[in-house]
Amino acid sequence: MADIRAITVSLQEDAQGQLHVCEPTSQKVNPGDRVSWTGMEPFLVFFPDKTPFEEGRGPFRNGERATVRGGLREEDSFTPQILNNGVFLKRTKGDIHP
């Protein structure tokens, strides 16, 4: 049975500067699961390289759900790039994996 996975994104700072942090930072998914992200507007999530979603790389808006596709390998890991509260950063702490 497919589950809904909610991921909250915040803007944080570390020794190297700002980054987006996903909570949970590592989200295990199964084919058919629906994933959604929430954060401060304006908000977009996309996957610039490969994607685990049937809907493609995005962008996905705040609260929009994407369906995990089949055929993913357990060793695959997908890290998004995020625009959150008007800030776009290449560094994101968080991934999705089967």
Q: Judge whether 30 and 65 are in contact, CB under 8 Å.
A: no
The predicted pLDDT at position 89 comes to: 86
- The reported pLDDT for the residue numbered 57 is 96
Q: Where are the domains of the chain?
A: 4-97
Length of the chain: 98
CATH architecture of the domain covering 4-97: Sandwich (2.60)
Q: How far is CA 40 from CA 21, 45, 56, 57, 75, in A?
A: 13, 12, 23, 20, 31
| 51, 71 Cβ separation under 8 angstroms | no
d(CA 2, CA 9): 22
Average pLDDT per run of 10 along the chain, which is 98 residues long? 90 91 95 94 90 96 95 94 87 93
